[in-house]
Structure 1
Amino acid sequence: MSTEAASFKALSAAMAKGFWRDKSSVFFAVIFPLMFLVLFGAIFDVDDRSPSEVIQVGAVPLIDDLPAEARESFDDAFEVAHTEDREAALEKVRKGDADAVIEMQGDTLVAHYTVTDQTSAAMTAGTLRAFVDSANVAASGQPPRYAFEASAVEDDSLAVIDVMTPGLLGWAVAMSAAFGAAATLQGWRQSKLLRRLQLAPVRPRTIVGARIFVTVMIAFAQTAIFLGLGTLGFGLNLTGSWWMAVPLVVAGTLCFMALGLLAGALAKTTEGAVNLANLFVLPMAFLSGSFFPLDDAPGWLQVVSKAMPLRHLNDGMLDVMVRGEGPAAALVPIGILLAFAAVVCLLAAKLFRWESV
């Protein structure tokens, strides 16, 4: 083994041990983002919207006499309880224990609901109205003139956890890479380790290569943990060329390492470098779809979001991991991330100082 290779191996091992021994680094790089994944996974651990809870008072011929196919659809949309006590049923709706009470008054289906949850009330009323309209068409004996067909634009298996995991993983990779680079650069400067390394018989490229290698390995560990927990714990569905997340993670790591180097070059203390890296990454996470989708965001916010590298990392991973896109979908995001890394690295190099001022 050559001297340079031995130095690279020793430096990489030392940096990796330093990371795993630093409890705060492990917490913010791995455990903290995973807490969000577990939280969102637990909240949205459902395949479909739960049926509305409806209480039927007495006989409701319109519902009871539905054809078999229509009845099956009704049972999918509503969970029906039967009672003869109208007042008790209405009280349950007032308390939020049921979504609606339905009863027949002559030829009219009457639905009683609370105004507390306007969204649920509107969905329940709209669905019931659709069944009434269908019954009217059937009673008229005339075939319907128009038909409706729903077609999903994304994979049928796409669930909330599928949408959330790529964004949270992107945020975790960005946070770990940026914080690690910022803290390392400033910490080495304050401890005079930079000067000692400059005088040591080790080439700068070996030191930089070891730092990049360790950070990328940490990002791979994050990816494996996120995908493993998401798949086994919450039913994450990986589709398409999901393996293209690997080069995306590498490009994202380099991009946010560059941002961390910029923070380390600008700040005068380790705490200042970490805080500045946080100032870069945290707002970007909210504006890049890491915590919630931006599909319905205003146009100006979309423009701002697409100027941020984390948006391209999140979109690229979303495309190849869960939207079923091919490898080509990751190429543009990778190019943008690498270009951003190159520009920021040049800026950080111009601002770099060997000693703290």
Structure 2
Amino acid sequence: MTSYLSLTKAMLIGLSRDKSTLFFTLLFPLMFLIIFGAIFSGGGTNPSKVAQVGAVPVLDQLQAQDPDALKDVLELSTVDDEAAAIKMVEDGEVAAAVKQTGDLVQIYYSAADRTQAGIVTGVLNGIVTQTNLEKLQVAAPEVAVTTVRIDQVEDESLGSIQYLAPGLLGWAISMSGVFGAAMTLVTWRQKKTLRRIRLAPVSVGAVVGARVGNTLLLALIQLAVFIGVASLPFFGLKLTNYWWMAIPTVLIGALAFLAIGLLVGAVSKTSEGASGLANLIILPLAFSSGSFYPLDAAPQWLQTISYVSPLRYLNEAMLDVMVRGEGPLSVLPNLGILIAFGLVVGFIATRLFRWDDI
């Protein structure tokens, strides 16, 4: 126990003095949280700019009834010349131009920005459809009209931070687990520290236990810092009743990525090689596991690939208990996969482990 505590203390002191490791495992992911949280704190997007050619009755009537009806989705500007309006679309000054002649509403858009074009055409189509329904109800009030009501399942006050915080936290834990274990192992091997430990009256279990203890402690610090920052009023993270299940979740996730770090450290001969291999593993995992954006928005092929990534299961487990309000049992399948992954990779790492450079 004395050797374990001494090693743990030595590793903690080394970590506190390693400014580079602290930056990349704690401050760097936190910077992403702050930047993305600030960008998306408004919870919405800017209105799409639309050039209105002369009078467009369907829009004019809607604004006459409710002046604020379109302010959150469309920013209208009136031009008298159709050619000038089309030129504005071509130059990217507006997302679309709209003109109405009789019962025909003509929309001009550019394929250069299909997202904006889709938003504008969808909104204008919806306005025209609603106008036609109102005419139908006046002309034939006995005809039943089907209506649509759209309700958000979460609290309407929830913002993007609900999904950013767990994903970026998962990324931070993966980086600290992989880089921490890999760099420690390679550095100790290069400096012959492993050889001295092997000759000293210290068990391998004490060395591994100290490394594991440091990794788990850092994961808890990351969890506390991320929740603390994201819960500030400016960002507005709202935790669900079972958020505390994120504690065992991050601990198990940290162990899974510690196993990857041990494998990287076992096969790498230099610190540079270990750092490069760790980056080669972590960055693809982060982009394919929903750490920076919801996986639902990713292409189908990327969603399929994500199933082989342990980071996906860590992110999903944290989302379940921190955001979606799922119960403690909901994370068990994801945690089981992380445990199995960690055991397999850890076993491979022990088989490849070496005390000295060859």
TM range (shorter): 0.7 to 0.9
In the TM superposition, what is the alpha-carbon distance from 1:130 to its structure 2 partner?
1.9
C-alpha distance 241-194 of structure 1, shift in aligned 2 (>3 A): same
1:224 aligns with 2:250: no
C-alpha distance 253-71 of structure 1, shift in aligned 2 (>3 A): same
Structure 1 counterpart of 2:185, one-letter code:
L
Q: Secondary structure of the equivalent of 1:234? A: coil
Tell me how far apart the structure 1 counterparts of residues 85 and 303 of structure 2 sit (CA, whole Å).
47
C-alpha distance 82-271 of structure 1, shift in aligned 2 (>3 A): closer
Greater mean alpha carbon deviation, residues 105-114 or residues 187-196: 105-114
Structure 2 counterpart of 1:105, one-letter code:
T
Q: Is the 8 A contact 1:53 1:98 kept in 2?
A: yes
Residue by residue over 1:253-285, the C-alpha shift from the partner in whole angstroms, topping out at 9 and shown as x without a partner, is 111111111122222233333333333322222
User: Of 8, 13, 26, which residue of structure 2 is paired with 1:12?
Assistant: 8
1:1-80 aligned at under 5 Å gives the runs 4=1, 6-56=2-52, 59-66=55-62, 73-80=69-76
1:295 corresponds in structure 2 to: 296
1:177 corresponds in structure 2 to: 177
Tell me how far apart the structure 1 counterparts of residues 78 and 302 of structure 2 sit (CA, whole Å).
49
Q: Secondary structure of the equivalent of 1:348? A: helix
Tell me how far apart the structure 2 counterparts of residues 119 and 297 of structure 1 sit (CA, whole Å).
15
1:199 corresponds in structure 2 to: 199
1:167 corresponds in structure 2 to: 167
Q: Secondary structure of the equivalent of 2:26? A: helix
C-alpha distance 113-180 of structure 1, shift in aligned 2 (>3 A): same
C-alpha distance 283-57 of structure 1, shift in aligned 2 (>3 A): closer
In the TM superposition, what is the alpha-carbon distance from 1:68 to its structure 2 partner?
8.3
1:306 corresponds in structure 2 to: 307
Greater mean alpha carbon deviation, residues 193-202 or residues 80-89: 80-89
Q: Is the 8 A contact 2:255 2:342 kept in 1?
A: yes
Q: Secondary structure of the equivalent of 2:28? A: helix
1:321-332 aligned at under 5 Å gives the runs 321-332=322-333
Q: Is the 8 A contact 1:103 1:111 kept in 2?
A: yes
Residue by residue over 1:178-220, the C-alpha shift from the partner in whole angstroms, topping out at 9 and shown as x without a partner, is 1111111222222222232233344433332222122112122
In the TM superposition, what is the alpha-carbon distance from 1:158 to its structure 2 partner?
4.7
C-alpha distance 108-274 of structure 1, shift in aligned 2 (>3 A): closer
Tell me how far apart the structure 2 counterparts of residues 48 and 274 of structure 1 sit (CA, whole Å).
38
> What CA RMSD, in Å, does the superposition of the two structures yield over aligned residues?
3.0
C-alpha distance 69-330 of structure 1, shift in aligned 2 (>3 A): farther
C-alpha distance 60-298 of structure 1, shift in aligned 2 (>3 A): closer
Q: Secondary structure of the equivalent of 1:53? A: strand
Tell me how far apart the structure 1 counterparts of residues 235 and 93 of structure 2 sit (CA, whole Å).
28
Tell me how far apart the structure 1 counterparts of residues 343 and 53 of structure 2 sit (CA, whole Å).
69
1:334 aligns with 2:330: no
User: Of 132, 135, 143, which residue of structure 2 is paired with 1:136?
Assistant: 132
C-alpha distance 19-91 of structure 1, shift in aligned 2 (>3 A): same
2:273 corresponds in structure 1 to: 272
User: Of 82, 101, 104, which residue of structure 2 is paired with 1:105?
Assistant: 101
Q: Is the 8 A contact 2:15 2:22 kept in 1?
A: yes
Q: Is the 8 A contact 1:219 1:249 kept in 2?
A: yes
Greater mean alpha carbon deviation, residues 338-347 or residues 68-77: 68-77
Structure 1 counterpart of 2:116, one-letter code:
S
Structure 2 counterpart of 1:122, one-letter code:
G
2:116 corresponds in structure 1 to: 120
Tell me how far apart the structure 1 counterparts of residues 119 and 347 of structure 2 sit (CA, whole Å).
54
C-alpha distance 221-139 of structure 1, shift in aligned 2 (>3 A): same
In the TM superposition, what is the alpha-carbon distance from 1:124 to its structure 2 partner?
1.4
C-alpha distance 96-335 of structure 1, shift in aligned 2 (>3 A): same
Structure 2 counterpart of 1:342, one-letter code:
L
1:214 corresponds in structure 2 to: 214
Greater mean alpha carbon deviation, residues 125-134 or residues 310-319: 125-134
Q: Which runs of 5+ in 2 are unaligned?
A: none
C-alpha distance 345-57 of structure 1, shift in aligned 2 (>3 A): closer
> How many residues are treated as equivalent by the alignment?
353
Structure 1 counterpart of 2:27, one-letter code:
I
Structure 2 counterpart of 1:353, one-letter code:
R
Q: Is the 8 A contact 1:240 1:323 kept in 2?
A: no
In the TM superposition, what is the alpha-carbon distance from 1:96 to its structure 2 partner?
3.7
Tell me how far apart the structure 2 counterparts of residues 242 and 90 of structure 1 sit (CA, whole Å).
52
Tell me how far apart the structure 2 counterparts of residues 222 and 255 of structure 1 sit (CA, whole Å).
16
Q: Is the 8 A contact 2:260 2:345 kept in 1?
A: yes
In the TM superposition, what is the alpha-carbon distance from 1:22 to its structure 2 partner?
1.3
Report sequence identity in percent: 48
1:148-167 aligned at under 5 Å gives the runs 148-152=148-152, 156-167=156-167
Structure 1 counterpart of 2:193, one-letter code:
L
Greater mean alpha carbon deviation, residues 63-72 or residues 237-246: 63-72
Q: Is the 8 A contact 1:230 1:236 kept in 2?
A: yes
Q: TM-score, normalised by structure 1?
A: 0.85
Q: TM-score, normalised by structure 2?
A: 0.85
